Structure 1
């Protein structure tokens, strides 16, 4: 039996754009949200542990900023505010902290001398590798028995979900 859930009535939050969905779909989406919540909790724990190994007391936001700089190899503050969706004041404080810890350095941007490029120091890269070492290969070990098609399907579906989420 398919029961339709009417999500089109307006409440305190604007729900007028939510489509009418059958009960099974609502249940499946709710279960997916729950699993994502568990996954996010796990990754927050990993990030907190890595941040503390990188520098005791480091906040996860500073760790995320640092790993984003590492991923981009070098970046301007403006790019980081866009990528991390962080306000300029918070980013400025975080960059100063990372610089004081010797994890990043500033160099003039050759494309725009008014701007500075932020990049990881050699010490920062070494410390990050040490901080990440405990869970290196964890995903490889956990998915070693999965079918290759399942891994590919999960990857494609996550990419698709991220794409539609960004459009919202």
Structure 2
């Protein structure tokens, strides 16, 4: 008899945990949708013809996190043809220059132009202003907790 309540408690806890997991998944979906909107807005800030993936490529180049096609493919988890199209467009728009890699003459390095750096900086400032405004209303402890949980989730 004593096993039955424990089983019910376990079932209730399991249901509550399932509900919590579904809520987190739903909220992450909403957050990702907002991030995609932010990328679209940032891309339009840089150039009206730039797609969100193009903005991500350009932002990676500007930040120095990825300066070769291979690095971009790995960082953005996309395919070679998509990166190739985006780099071609960024070059045509005068936002990226392609130079021979001094360490490997077969490879090319992608360098952001001054115009690209200026426009990405403006796009980031607008986005970070909106996000920062929301986050600054939270305590440092809450921000540290969220950052830690996101880091754990990303692993």
> Normalising by the residue count of structure 2, what TM-score does the alignment of the two structures yield?
0.86
Q: Is the 8 A contact 1:104 1:121 kept in 2?
A: yes
Give the total of aligned pairs: 147
Which of 49, 61, 64 is matched with 2:53 structurally?
61
After TM superposition, give the deviation of residue 45 of structure 1 in Å. Answer: 0.9
Q: Distance in 2 between matches of 1:146 and 1:93?
A: 40
Q: Is the 8 A contact 1:81 1:87 kept in 2?
A: yes
* Structure with bigger RCO (C-alpha 8 Å, 6+ apart): 2
Q: Distance in 2 between matches of 1:146 and 1:121?
A: 37
Q: Distance in 2 between matches of 1:73 and 1:126?
A: 17
Relative to its length, the structure with more helix (as a share) is: 2
Q: Distance in 2 between matches of 1:124 and 1:95?
A: 13
CA RMSD of aligned residues (A): 1.8
Q: Distance in 2 between matches of 1:101 and 1:73?
A: 21
What whole-Å deviation, never above 9, does each CA across 1:107-138 have from its counterpart, x for those lacking one? 11111111010121111111222333433422
After TM superposition, give the deviation of residue 96 of structure 1 in Å. Answer: 0.6
Q: Which residue number corresponds to residue 7 of structure 1?
A: none
Q: Is the 8 A contact 1:2 1:24 kept in 2?
A: no
Q: Is the 8 A contact 1:104 1:124 kept in 2?
A: yes
> Normalising by the residue count of structure 1, what TM-score does the alignment of the two structures yield?
0.80
5+ residue gaps, structure 1, are: 5-20, 164-168
Which of 9, 12, 34 is matched with 1:42 structurally?
34
Q: Which residue number corresponds to residue 24 of structure 2?
A: 32
After TM superposition, give the deviation of residue 74 of structure 1 in Å. Answer: 5.5
Aligned pairs for 1:42-121 (under 5 A) are 42-72=34-64, 75-121=67-113
Relative to its length, the structure with more strand (as a share) is: 1
